[in-house]
Amino acid sequence: MSTRFTKDHEWIRVEGEEGVMGITAYAAEQLGDVVFVELPEVGKTVSQGDELAVVESVKAASEVYAPVSGEVVAVNEALEGEPAKVNESPDAEGWFVKIKLSDKSQLDAMMDEAAYAEHTK
The structural domains of the chain, with segments of one domain joined by +, span: 3-103
**Ramachandran quadrant class, 43 (left: phi over 0; alpha: psi -120 to 50; beta: rest):** left
- Residue 16: CB atoms within 10 A of its CB come to 8
Residue ranges of E strands in 44-96? 45-46, 51-57, 61-65, 70-75
What is the pairing mode between strands 70-75 and 45-46?
antiparallel
- 61-65, strands of its sheet edge to edge: 34-38, 51-57, 61-65
Local structure of residue 41 (DSSP, 8 states): P
CATH architecture of 3-103: Beta Barrel (2.40)
The model's pLDDT over 68-90, given as tens digits with 9 standing for 90+, comes to 999 999 999 999 999 999 999 99
In whole angstroms, what is the distance from residue 119 CA to residue 63 CA?
20
Q: Each residue of 92-121: pLDDT tens digit?
A: 999 999 999 999 999 999 999 999 999 999
Q: CB of 19 within 8 A of CB of 3?
A: no
pLDDT value of position 86:
97
Tens of pLDDT, residues 19-49: 999 999 999 999 999 999 999 999 999 999 9
